[in-house]
Amino acid sequence: MNNLKLFKRQSINELSTFYSFLIGFVIAIFIGSIILLVQDKNPIDTFSLMLRLSVGSINSLSSSLNKAIPLILAGLGISIMNSVKLWNIGAEGQIFLGAIAVNYLYINTQFNSPTLHIFVLLIAGFAGGSLCILIPAITKVVFGVNEIITTLLTNYIVFGITIFLINGPWKDPKSLNFPAAAYVGEEVFLPTIFGKLSLGFLICILFTALAHYLKNKSVFGFEMRIAGGSALTAVYAGINARQKAFIAMLIGGGFAGLAGAIELLSQTHRVSTGISQGFGYTAIIVAAITGMRPLGIFLVGCLFGALSIGGSVIQTIGVSAYISDIIQASTLFGALIIQFFFTYQIKKVEND
């Protein structure tokens, strides 16, 4: 008699994450198609429309890539924190606080050089993101409070602060129905580099390289990996694990904060609830699906940016924009399921 039994594989294919992603994406498209069919929409027509409207022209391609910027930056922040085995569920809040910090600095300072002004505002965004994660970082390294819950809760706190600001102190009297702060001046708009593509995309490339270097090529990255692998080994090696975790968290928050700054200076041009449309959450999918690899985050970020644009434009033909959320989440679920088969092996067992 033969039995099927589960065995752990001794070595895992190096490209397993990539294959899992591909198959997961196919599964997700399949699920998306079923949902479209249920709604009496032709999946092929819908998807080709999505494709055309997201990458079919220079304009749409640059919107897609603009959309990718916050996903990539926040995703990179999540991936850096993951080196010390910490989760950042608070990217959404960090994006908002990044934008708030930019607006605060914009209101309260004067600069003669617009280039310097933009530069300082971008730094303010990064600092805002770091500030947002400061409390979770302190409570984590000093008291050991679970960072998943605290980073998540800060999202709601920052969102509350945003609503308070745009309805109260920063409320733009010209914006009647939609609560928002006043627009920032055109002198601090981020320039575009190609079509509608903002300079933010170059920053994004730069930060992808930076994150890649930090994680994979630097002493700090090594120390983070050891600290994340085993706190005891870190102590044994003379590595201050708490310090590494703290710095990683501030950097992680900063990346997301920078995303908020770029959104404000290149897309919305004012603080409103529209600064982020769930980018901080989607970034978690982007980071997790790539096995936390910066270069992968860049590519998948671009793909998901296009999906979001595609999703929002097909609303016009009566398809819910949530279809792209569902495709993104299903891709990751599909990838997780496929990853199982790369990690484990089902074998027949001879009993005789």
In this structure, what are the phi and psi dihedrals at residue 192, rounded to the nearest 5 degrees?
A: -95, 155
Q: How far is the CB of 251 from other proteins (least distance, A)?
A: 13
**Closest by alpha carbon to 28, among 312, 344, 318, 311?**
311
In this structure, what are the phi and psi dihedrals at residue 198, rounded to the nearest 5 degrees?
A: -85, 160
What is the rounded CA–CA span in Å between residue 165 and residue 100?
Answer: 9
**Closest by alpha carbon to 228, among 215, 210, 217?**
215
Q: What is the CA radius of gyration of the chain?
A: 22
> Angle formed by the axes of helices 294-313 and 322-343, to 10°?
150
Q: How far is the CB of 233 from other proteins (least distance, A)?
A: 4
> Between 72 and 285, whose beta carbon lies closer to other proteins?
285
E strand or H helix at 347: strand 344-350
> Between 46 and 62, whose beta carbon lies closer to other proteins?
46
> Between 189 and 304, whose beta carbon lies closer to other proteins?
304
> Between 227 and 265, whose beta carbon lies closer to other proteins?
227
What is the rounded CA–CA span in Å between residue 157 and residue 241?
Answer: 28
Q: How far is the CB of 160 from other proteins (least distance, A)?
A: 3
Task: Give the three-class secondary structure for 278.
Answer: coil
Per-residue CA distances from 253 to 29, 135, 303 (Å): 32, 11, 23
In this structure, how many other beta carbons lie within 10 angstroms of the beta carbon of residue 99?
31
Q: How far is the CB of 31 from other proteins (least distance, A)?
A: 10
Q: How far is the CB of 51 from other proteins (least distance, A)?
A: 20
Please say whether the beta carbons of 269 and 104 come within 8 A.
no
What is the rounded CA–CA span in Å between residue 60 and residue 160?
Answer: 33
> Between 121 and 239, whose beta carbon lies closer to other proteins?
239
> Between 111 and 159, whose beta carbon lies closer to other proteins?
159
**Torsion of Cα atoms, 266 then 268 then 270 then 275, to 10°:** -110
Q: How far is the CB of 253 from other proteins (least distance, A)?
A: 15
Please say whether the beta carbons of 130 and 318 come within 8 A.
no
> Between 67 and 117, whose beta carbon lies closer to other proteins?
67
> Between 31 and 102, whose beta carbon lies closer to other proteins?
31
Q: How far is the CB of 163 from other proteins (least distance, A)?
A: 5
Q: How far is the CB of 310 from other proteins (least distance, A)?
A: 15
Task: Give the three-class secondary structure for 182.
Answer: coil
